[in-house]
Amino acid sequence: MTQPIQAWWLDAVPLLVAASAYLGVVGGAVVGAALAVAGLRGLGRRRVAAVDVDEGVDLPAELGRAHDALGIGLVLLKHVERRFGVDVGALILVADDAAAARGLVGRTRGAPIEGFDDVAFDLRHEASGVATVVHDAAPFAVYDAVASPALHRELVEKSGIKSAAFIPLIAEERVAAVLVVGTTGKPRAFTAQELNALQVTAAEAALALDRARTTSELAEALRRERRRMSQQSGLLRAAQALTSDLHLDTVLERLVSLLAELLAADAADCYLLDAERGVLRCAAVQGLSEDVLGFEFDADRGLAGRALAEGRPVTAEHYGRLDLPVPNDAYADFDAALVAPMRWGDTVQGVLGVGARGTRRFDDEDADLVQAYAGLASLALANAQAFEARSRQAQVQRGFFRIAAALGQSLSLEPTLEAVAQAANDALGGSFAAVLMPRGSALELVGAAAIPQELRTALADGLPEGGRVLARAAEDDRILASTDLDGDDRFDREWQELARRCAFRALIAVPVASPRAESCGLVLVFFVDPRPFSDEDIELARHLADAARGALERSELFEAERTQRSLSQQLARTGRTLATELDPAAVLDEVVQQAPALLAADAAAIRTLEDDDLIVSAAWGDAAEAAVGGRSAATAWLSGDVVQSRAPVVVEDASQDPRLLAADSILASGHSAFVGVPLAGLDGTLHGVLAVYARRPRTWRPEEIDALQALAGNTAAALSSAELYSRVSVEKERSVAILANVADGIVAVDRDGHVVLWNPAAEEITGVPADEALGRTPAQVLQRTLESDDAATASGPRLVSITRGGEEVWLSLSEAVMRDPLGVVAGRIFAFRDISADRMVEQVKSDFVAAVSLQLRAPLTSIYGFAETLLRQDVLFGDEERQTFLRYIATESERLTGIVDQLLNVARLDAGDLHVEPEAIDVASVVSEVVETVGEAGAGNGHRLEVDLPTEPLAAEADREKLRQVFSILVENALKYSPDGGTVTVGARRKEDAVEVRVVDEGIGIPAAVGLFIAKELVTAMGGRIWVESAEGEGASFAFELPAVRE
């Protein structure tokens, strides 16, 4: 059993003993009442038995069957009407104090007297027969009821009675009722015997009335006792339930739910008293809207005010008619209410209230029950509050321990800030907490413990404008506490609206020194309910501030060491990356990406110095790339300051300085913090400025600035290397371009004879790709060596042959030997060109001269022989022989002239002086003319010409004379090289867009001839093409095409 439960049990034992004693007394009263009823019943019977009235022996049975006073009255009246022959009978009930009486039932001639139950009798101030009977406790009669003042006028008027007798019904020595009998006809004098008989009858009825009253009272007592026992049982259950949990919120919820159940009420609530402010605040409800929770009103209003003023439970019917009701619509529809104060010792804790709708009303027993329940509730609240205080003290102790444990070790900054928030929340018993640290001129959220998302969002960009008082508390280094923000005019409406949305009512702000900034940060602890702050809370807050300052200083040292190590590692990686990058533009791009990562920033830019201007050559980050190409003076703000001072320039928050924003487009795009360092080489050359930006205000660490300067130094060195490499690369590319575009093949080998250079001309000349040649020796590539055997021939050109695609290729080769400083051969360079074409040209020339000489020699020999023959003196020739010789000389001369003409045509073709005049001609007619002319000459050798021409014209675009010449060359060539008796076939046909002419022979093939060359050039000049299908010894098929005339 916990200490709070033991304390409650010791306090509750007297209350439980008293409840048990109360139940015992009630039980004894019930037994006594039952015995009293039995005694009365015996006494009545004895009194009835004392009077000898035979006619009344059936009356007790009839009266015994009646269950209440009205039933007994009707039995009595019917009995006296029947037995005594009276017209009027009435029974009047007398109050216990004998001061008044009221009609119960009346009959006239067997009919009810209308309105008799409303007839009232004032027995002390009005003279009447009823008053006399009650006073004397004896019967009497009135002969003339109309004239007698003893009769009540209203009774006379309602019943019409003329004579009357008044008989007392005596029970337990008091007149409980009065029986009135009479007549409505003639007056009647009631005899003493009749009065005695009526008295006996009345005594039996009195006994029955007393029995009914006793039974009713007993039933009521039993009902009340059962109700009390139920209430006491409910109290016991409530006591058990209230003491089963010591958490204040749970106790408050159970208080109202059990109270509503105990009194069968429609609603219940619990208000706690704030004595300092004089208000009652709703802490728990049952059967009411949850919106009532937290509602406050003045402690002197409504039933609660009366209950507190009188110190006892108070009830009210028609609750809405109170002069000063609770100002909340939730209570407007209640018809009855009961409120009791809760008091623990001399302290008033608050009030408990129940409400009912409809006909339910609260009586004194309900008030007593609520008062007893309020005592239990006070005890439970005191225990819960004590438990809460001890729990809070334990929380404070745990807070100290947590502060010592969490903040006493070296952690990185972010976990330390989170630990500060959690430790503050635990130590001060808050609902959630936040840590804000200075960033530039604002306070930024850097740590939190269980804060709502909306509050996190509101604090993400710094304190809202409505919380300026918190910023001033940080500036003044003082603790600020607000017990209830609703009534705290230090906070603007904006902050109070934020508090309502985020469900916090109180806060305490603890300034914490920031290791990086001169101003303090804040630890904010929030509470969902109003919260008074004690001196212990303030002292704990100061201790938290001291511990947090020490933890942050250790964290700063830890962070600085880790940052330094991380910066060194990252700088090393960046240096390796830059060392391998030899493109200046790539170096700049790499640096502007690495610099923000190095400092955990948002953007970076490099401005290179050109003359007197700074030009943004590379940028990275949000809105930074748009600045590339921007130009500013080297004397401008920020980057210009770096150039002029050749030292770092740092700005923590430029957002409020329009001059700085105007000087730097990247700052103007939404960045706030700036740090710039010069890009200076080892030789002092200034390349430009490296600048890093952060979107939010920021305090730059010294080690971060040093790391950025180191990166700038690496960048300057990398730029120098890249620029040198770029110049060398340009020179190399120029050399490669020259080597790639020279016509000579260039091959370079190293000292081991392996190829290191094989230019495109070498690929083309040798037919070997460079990727196959590199790394191998020329002998492996070309199947022969290129090196000379001696130094004498190494410098001059020499002829070598290689094999390319199965054919022999001749090269003109030059060789240069490279030597190292010791004179050892370090490599060789070979330059060569393909002279195979030149050799072929020379060969063609030789062949051409030989062929022309052969063709010229035959006619010249004939001419010379016949001329020599004619010139002989020793032989005499006749005229016929001379004519024959001269004809031969003439024929050979014509043949020689033709050969010369062909040579002239070759010269014209070679010089481009041969012109063609295309026109639409009939190819078939030209073919026929040539065949007819040439056929006569070939007939002497037995040659046969076959012509295959279509019947329709073959129109083509050609020069008629040139076409005739081409066809003559082909036919003559076919006849010339065909064997005797051979067949030459000549044909022509129309194709889609050309006319094809073909000459086929059965000769020995196609030896070299000038005519064929002329024929090819003429066909080409006329826009056609010519080809041959031939093999030596198998004949040849010549064909050419000319453009057809478009119809």
The whole-number pLDDT of residue 270 equals 92
Task: Output 1006 or 885, whichever has higher pLDDT.
Answer: 885
Dihedral-angle region of residue 127 (phi above 0 means left; psi in -120 to 50 means alpha; beta otherwise): beta
Give 149-163 pLDDT, tens digit per residue.
Answer: 777 777 788 888 888
**Is 6 domain-assigned?**
no
**Is 229 domain-assigned?**
no
Ranges 590-604, 940-954, 1000-1014: which has the least confidence: 1000-1014
Please state, in angstroms and rounded to a whole number, the distance separating the CA atoms of residues 169 and 522. Answer: 90
Among 196, 221, 246, residue at a domain's last position:
221
| 746 sits in which H/E element | strand 745-750
Domain of 782, CATH number, reads 3.30.450.20
Together in a domain, 40 and 175: yes
Task: Output 830 or 39, whichever has higher pLDDT.
Answer: 830
- pLDDT(793) > 70: no
The whole-number pLDDT of residue 840 equals 67
Task: Output 397 or 964, whichever has higher pLDDT.
Answer: 964
Together in a domain, 377 and 416: no
- Percent of the residues in the chain that have a pLDDT greater than 70, as a whole number: 82
Together in a domain, 881 and 954: no
Together in a domain, 190 and 76: yes
pLDDT band at 41 (very low <50, low <70, confident <90, very high): very low
Best CA proximity match to 538, nearest among 582, 625, 478, 494: 478
Do 627 and 666 contact (CB within 8 A), yes or no? Answer: yes
* Number of folded domains that form the chain: 7
Please state, in angstroms and rounded to a whole number, the distance separating the CA atoms of residues 312 and 511. Answer: 48
Give 669-710 pLDDT, tens digit per residue.
Answer: 888 889 999 988 777 788 899 999 998 888 888 888 888 888
Task: Output 139 or 791, whichever has higher pLDDT.
Answer: 139
Best CA proximity match to 164, nearest among 146, 154, 127, 118: 146
Beta strands at 983-990 and 944-948: parallel, antiparallel or unpaired: parallel
What's the mean per-residue pLDDT of the chain? 80
**Is 548 domain-assigned?**
no
Domain of 984, CATH number, reads 3.30.565.10
Together in a domain, 361 and 455: no
Together in a domain, 179 and 55: yes
Together in a domain, 213 and 87: yes
**Is 864 domain-assigned?**
yes
Ranges 113-117, 423-427, 641-645, 932-936: which has the least confidence: 932-936
Please state, in angstroms and rounded to a whole number, the distance separating the CA atoms of residues 897 and 291. Answer: 132
Do 849 and 831 contact (CB within 8 A), yes or no? Answer: no
Do 282 and 316 contact (CB within 8 A), yes or no? Answer: no
Among 478, 511, 535, residue at a domain's last position:
535
Domain of 148, CATH number, reads 3.30.450.40
What is the DSSP secondary structure assignment for residue 425, as one 8-state letter? H
Do 181 and 86 contact (CB within 8 A), yes or no? Answer: yes
Exposure letters 692-730 (e unless 16+ CB within 10 A, then b): bbbbbbbbbbebbbebbbbbbbbbbbbbbbbeeeeeeee
Among 729, 754, 772, residue at a domain's last position:
729
**Is 340 domain-assigned?**
yes
Together in a domain, 184 and 58: yes
Do 608 and 642 contact (CB within 8 A), yes or no? Answer: no
Together in a domain, 214 and 329: no
The whole-number pLDDT of residue 38 equals 36
Q: Give the mean pLDDT of 537-549.
A: 84
**What's the gap between Cα 83 and its chain centre?**
101
Do 739 and 730 contact (CB within 8 A), yes or no? Answer: no
Domain of 879, CATH number, reads 1.10.287
The whole-number pLDDT of residue 371 equals 83
Together in a domain, 639 and 722: yes
The residues pairing with 650 across neighbouring beta strands, listed in sequence order, are 675
Together in a domain, 427 and 523: yes
What are the phi and psi torsion angles at 836 (to 5°)?
-60, -40
- pLDDT(3) > 60: no
Together in a domain, 329 and 417: no
Give 234-261 pLDDT, tens digit per residue.
Answer: 666 666 666 666 777 878 888 888 888 8
Best CA proximity match to 455, nearest among 492, 498, 500: 498
**Is 961 domain-assigned?**
yes
Do 418 and 448 contact (CB within 8 A), yes or no? Answer: yes
Q: Give the mean pLDDT of 661-676.
A: 88
Give 968-1017 pLDDT, tens digit per residue.
Answer: 888 888 887 778 778 888 989 988 889 999 998 887 665 556 677 778 88
**Is 226 domain-assigned?**
no
Residues shown for the chain:
1047
**Is 790 domain-assigned?**
yes
User: Which residue segment(s) compose the domain that 37 sits in?
Assistant: 33-221
